[in-house]
């Protein structure tokens, strides 16, 4: 019986390890990076069986020309002068799998006071009437 469970464990471990990442995809939550904050870089791997696996710094190596990565989060200092950051993501288990992309730094400041729900509805109503 002990041998059966040992073989079962080994075969399940081998099956799990057999799934390899075929492609890397970066799914960004914003279209620009914000200075003075952590910017999350979401990386997913498409596995050979068609399923998706979220990847973090245990699976991929993050590199950039400006800023500092802490796990999947890129810290962008408020003092940088660059208008974009070049980011490289390399799969640790297969360094031939990698992605390179540039991401621009947000230029406009966030509004101090955001519009409330009624103000947003009012704007949309005005736009519809104008059309």
- Here the tokens at position 26 are 């970066």
pLDDT in the model for residue 53: 94
pLDDT in tens, 82-128: 999 999 999 999 999 999 999 999 988 877 888 899 999 998 888 77
With a cut of 90, say whether residue 22 has pLDDT above it: yes
pLDDT in the model for residue 6: 47
The residues near 105 (Cβ < 8 Å, ≥ 6 apart) are 32, 33, 34, 35, 76, 80, 82, 83, 84, 85
Q: Please report the domains of the chain, with CATH numbers, ordered by start residue.
A: 23-108 (2.60.40.1930)
**Binning pLDDT at 50, 70 and 90, where does residue 14 land?**
very low
pLDDT in the model for residue 52: 95
CB 41 within 8 A of CB 72: yes
Quote the DSSP letter at residue 67.
S
pLDDT in the model for residue 18: 58
Calpha distance 86→104 (Å, rounded) = 9
pTM of the model: 0.69
pLDDT in the model for residue 3: 62
């Amino acid at each position: 019986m002990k041998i059966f469970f040992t073989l079962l464990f080994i075969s399940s471990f081998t099956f799990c390890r057999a799934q390899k990442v075929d492609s890397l995809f970066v799914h960004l939550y914003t279209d620009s990076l914000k200075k003075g904050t952590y910017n999350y870089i979401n990386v997913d791997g498409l596995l050979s069986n068609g399923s998706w696996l979220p990847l973090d710094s245990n699976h991929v190596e993050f590199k950039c020309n400006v800023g500092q990565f802490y796990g999947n989060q890129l810290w962008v200092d408020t003092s940088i002068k660059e208008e974009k950051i070049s980011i490289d993501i390399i799969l640790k288990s297969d360094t031939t799998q990698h992605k390179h992309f540039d991401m621009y730094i947000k230029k406009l400041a966030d509004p101090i006071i955001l519009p409330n729900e009624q103000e947003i509805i009012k704007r949309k109503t005005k736009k519809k009437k104008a059309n």
